[in-house]
């Protein structure tokens, strides 16, 4: 991804915030906040990236003129390539002709979140939800910010709505499990993670978090199975997380061996 120098980054952020003040939405819509794994049980939530973009305004396809659909796809391409300035310009073109498209608002929220402006990103997601209250991507993205800000109950409630809208998305199930963990509902967290693994048996984060929670609950055999599942799922390279899991596996095997003697 092409890096942006500090001056240009600040200028883009100022222009996006200025757009907010004018009621102009400069940033796009669909992002699913990816929650990664941490190297220790106390670090359950580590955002690896702001989110995944919507590739097309599918919800509004019959309402969007063909030229705007083309611009949207171009903007998504620029955003994926890290050219946030050009992506923002393209999204602005769309909003000038078709205000209030939730996908565009959501993807602009992703840009703002990438720039570190969570307050403005939150406003974008909220604007997308005013247009379409059960838009699962915006629900998910707003919930991810609320979780980071310590608003655990609100985050949980948004993820419940997102899961109801899109029950086959394993990422939503994992994020819901994270919020259950924060609200002190470990049994529901375990249930949500098991459902995520039913949908995607190779979901590394789900295995990892399941292992942590089961270990905290004293179910060491099941925790061991979950940690083994994490390694077998071939997670993305992460030396600290992998090393931590291998350490936990060794300790659990030793502990269970003592118990079985």
Domain boundaries, the chain: 6-200
pLDDT in tens, 57-112: 655 444 455 678 888 889 999 998 999 989 988 988 898 888 888 999 999 999 98
> Could you say which DSSP state residue 202 is in?
T
pLDDT above 70: residue 42? no
- Report the mean per-residue pLDDT for the chain: 79
- As a 3-state breakdown, the chain gives helix, strand, coil percent values, each rounded to 5, of 70, 5, 30
Give CA 104 to chain center in angstroms: 17
pLDDT of 218 higher than 50? yes
What is the CATH class of 6-200? mainly alpha
Whether residue 44 has pLDDT greater than 90? no
- Please state, as a whole number, how many other Cβ atoms lie within 10 Å of the Cβ of residue 238: 18
Spatial distance between the Cα atoms of 174 and 176, rounded to a whole number of angstroms: 5
Tokens of 255: 């502990």
Q: Are 116 and 16 in contact (CB under 8 A)?
A: no
Helices marked H in 83-135: 84-97, 102-114, 118-131
pTM metric for this prediction: 0.77
Three-state SS sequence of 54-73: CCCCHHHCCCCCHHHHHHHH
Q: Of residues 68 and 214, which shows the higher confidence score?
A: 214
Q: Which pLDDT belongs to residue 99? A: 84
């Amino acid at each position: 991804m092409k890096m942006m120098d500090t001056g240009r980054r600040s200028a883009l952020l100022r222009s996006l915030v200025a757009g907010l003040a004018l009621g102009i939405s400069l940033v796009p819509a669909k992002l699913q906040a990816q929650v990664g794994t941490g190297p220790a049980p106390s670090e359950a939530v580590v955002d690896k990236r702001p989110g995944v973009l919507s590739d097309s305004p599918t919800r509004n396809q019959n309402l969007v003129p063909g030229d705007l659909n083309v611009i949207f796809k171009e903007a998504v391409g620029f955003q994926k390539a890290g050219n946030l300035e050009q992506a923002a310009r393209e999204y602005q073109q769309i909003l000038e002709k078709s205000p209030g498209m939730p996908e565009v608002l959501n993807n602009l929220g992703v840009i703002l979140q990438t720039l570190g402006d969570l307050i403005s990103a939150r406003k974008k997601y909220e604007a997308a939800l005013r247009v379409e209250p059960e838009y699962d991507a915006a629900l998910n993205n707003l919930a991810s910010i609320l979780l980071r800000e310590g608003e655990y109950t609100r985050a949980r409630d948004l993820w419940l709505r997102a899961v109801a809208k899109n029950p086959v998305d394993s990422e939503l199930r994992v994020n819901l499990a994270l919020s259950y963990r924060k609200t002190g509902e470990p049994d529901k967290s375990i249930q949500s993670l098991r459902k995520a693994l039913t949908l995607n048996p190779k979901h590394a984060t789900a295995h990892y978090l399941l292992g942590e929670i089961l270990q905290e609950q004293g179910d060491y055999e099941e925790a061991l199975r979950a940690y083994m599942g994490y390694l077998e799922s071939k997670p993305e390279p992460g030396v600290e997380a992998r090393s931590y899991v291998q350490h936990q596996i060794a300790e659990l095997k030793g502990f269970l061996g003592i118990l079985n003697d």
